[in-house]
Amino acid sequence: MAMPKKYDAIVIGAGMSGMACAIRLGMFGKKVALLEKHSIPGGLNSYYQRGKIDQDGKRVGVRKFDVGLHALTNFARKNSKKNPLIKVLRQLRIPYDDLKLKEQSESRIQVGDIGVNFSNNFDYFVQQIEKSFPENFSHFQKLVEFINTYDDNQITTEFVSGREFLERTLQNSRLVEIVLFPTLIYGSSWENDVDLRQFVILFKSIYMEGFARPYGGVRTLIEVLENKIQENNVDLLYRSSVKKIVAHENQATEVHLENGEVLRADQIYSSAGLAETYSLLGKKDLKQKVIGNLSFVELLFVYDKNIDPNVCDKTIIFYNETESYEYKKPDDYVDTRSAVVCFTDNYREYESDEGLIRITFIANYEKWKTLNQDEYKTIKEKTKKSALELIKKVVPQDDRTLKYWDAFTPRTIEKYTSHFKGAVYGATQKIADGKTSLKNLFVIGTDQGFLGIVGSLLSGISVANMYGSNLGDRS
């Protein structure tokens, strides 16, 4: 048997956090292996292609899709004051223009009969709140002041209820629902609540900074990252699924792959998720405790042309039929009373003449999991019908022709990202310092507590900086 290959560091998973972490470790001069189960990078925010090539080599109905991209949050203009996005670009040495960011037009939060718009200009959101909630406007200003002075760098471990804090501060239940809605669905692993620190981070990233989209979609970002991976001599190994992490006393020593290969490293960084990483260590008891509960169904509808701005000029609509928003695992397959509706062609520039609407519903993993093949197809069709009905309600004048649709479910998410129960936002318990019970094994990404594309990139960077730089040691 060949000697196991030895690296300075192994990073498990080539999602956003894993790629960023591997690039930073490479910059520190480490020899890094980045192990990815699949044959392309991106993880929860990857891409795929549908359609086929016929006998004559002609492409028939070939379309490229992003798995999850509604919006890149944390928007910042070039040369603006440092925010998480600018930090990520600086740390990875990515020129701002390489991302080809196109801004949102504006977005909307609809809860019952009250709707509030926001854009990449925070003042607009503030004015909208003043208009719809004049009596509570001073309360809202207090919230903004609180957010501006809150130190979100502090590493807290105790859960503080964001909802309770908002109820106390805003004193208007509808306003609470409106402000909370996007922050829950864009990054809370708690049902109907969000950790206060997480809320502050999300509030800034969504309302104060805003949304953009790389021209060409997530591929544009992934290509930039792939180039950086190469530049920093990281070995990116596809179809390399980690089966087991072997530990000796309090030290991780080896990584065993499904294909039988064994790799050694001084340090291991895992983006597989906390429960998933425990499971790779064979710690089943710990695993059960930390699996998240929230999963989603994502539907994509392709139309013959871009949407007419007179029919709808919003980029994203957070839509909730009733007066209060339920963010929890539904009893049914999906909860069709609320959704995120993304009109991708309403970014400032969009690369296709066809239109695209993406719909996200909260879903019940267990119900999807137990379906047989036929039932699965039927329920998927039924969910499609519900989504189209919802679109009719949101944009009744949209009379474009539907050309193609696709959907992925908690089952698909679990299969393609290996997150147990398709739990997109991971465990409720987050490991802010990335440490585990093994002194050279670290957790990055979703379960370190940073969510979304920008958040998970930043997570990979900061954990690599903390434990992988070997700088500042006494020499």
Partner 1 sequence: MLETEQVKKEIINIIADIAPDENLDSLDGAKSLRDQLDLDSMDFLDIVMELRKRHQIEVPQEDYPKLATLDGCVEYLSPKFQ
Ligand X SMILES: Cc1cc2nc3c(=O)[nH]c(=O)nc-3n(C[C@H](O)[C@H](O)[C@H](O)COP(=O)(O)OP(=O)(O)OC[C@H]3O[C@@H](n4cnc5c(N)ncnc54)[C@H](O)[C@@H]3O)c2cc1C
Binding site for ligand X (CB under 6 A): 12-18, 35-38, 43-45, 68-71, 73, 241-242, 271-272, 276, 296, 298, 413, 417-419, 424, 445-446, 451-453, 456
| DSSP helix/strand/coil, 388 | helix
77 binds partner 1 (CB under 8 A): no
User: In whole angstroms, how close is the CB of 264 to partner 1 at the nearest point?
Assistant: 25
- Among residues 37 and 400, whose Cβ is nearest to ligand X? 37
Q: How many angstroms separate the CA atoms of 450 and 391, rounded?
A: 31
**CB-hemisphere CA count at 13 Å for 160?**
10
Of 81-89, 119-127, 163-171, 204-212: span binding partner 1 (CB under 8 A): 81-89
SS3 94: coil
Give φ, ψ of 276 to 5 degrees.
-65, -35
H or E, element range at 300: strand 295-303
81 contacts which partner out of partner 1, ligand X, none, CB within 5 to 8 A by kind?
partner 1
Closer CB to ligand X, 89 or 170, in the complex = 89
Find which of ligand X, partner 1, none residue 474 binds, CB within 5 to 8 Å per kind: partner 1
> Minimal distance in Å, beta carbon 65 to ligand X?
11
Interacting residues with partner 1 between 18 and 47 (CB under 8 A): 27-29
Which partner in ligand X, partner 1, none is near 120 (CB below 5 to 8 A by kind)? none
Q: What is d(CA 432, CA 421) in angstroms, rounded to the nearest whole number? A: 22
In angstroms, the CA 30 to CA 222 distance is: 22
Q: Is 473 in the site for partner 1 (CB under 8 A)?
A: yes
Compute the least distance from the CB of residue 329 to ligand X, in Å. Answer: 15
**C-alpha torsion sign, points 360, 361, 366, 372:** negative
- From residue 386, alpha-carbon distances to 186, 335, 337, 359 in Å are 22, 10, 10, 11
Instruction: Answer with the entry of ligand X, partner 1, none that 475 interacts with (C-beta below 5 to 8 A by kind).
Output: partner 1
Nearer to ligand X, 177 or 298 (CB): 298
User: Residues near 378 by Cβ (< 8 Å), separated by ≥ 6?
Assistant: none
Confirm or reject binding of residue 432 to partner 1 (CB under 8 A): no
In the list ligand X, partner 1, none, the entry touching 452 (Cβ below 5 to 8 angstroms by class) is ligand X
Burial class (CB in 10 A: 0-12, 13-18, 19+), 365: buried
**Residue 471 contact among partner 1, ligand X, none, beta carbon within 5 to 8 Å by kind:** partner 1
Closest CA to 13 of 33, 32, 36, 31: 36
> Which lies closer to partner 1 via its Cβ, residue 57 or residue 95?
95
**Would you tell me which residues interact with partner 1 (CB under 8 A)?**
27-29, 78-79, 81-82, 87, 90-91, 93, 95-96, 461-462, 465, 469, 471-475
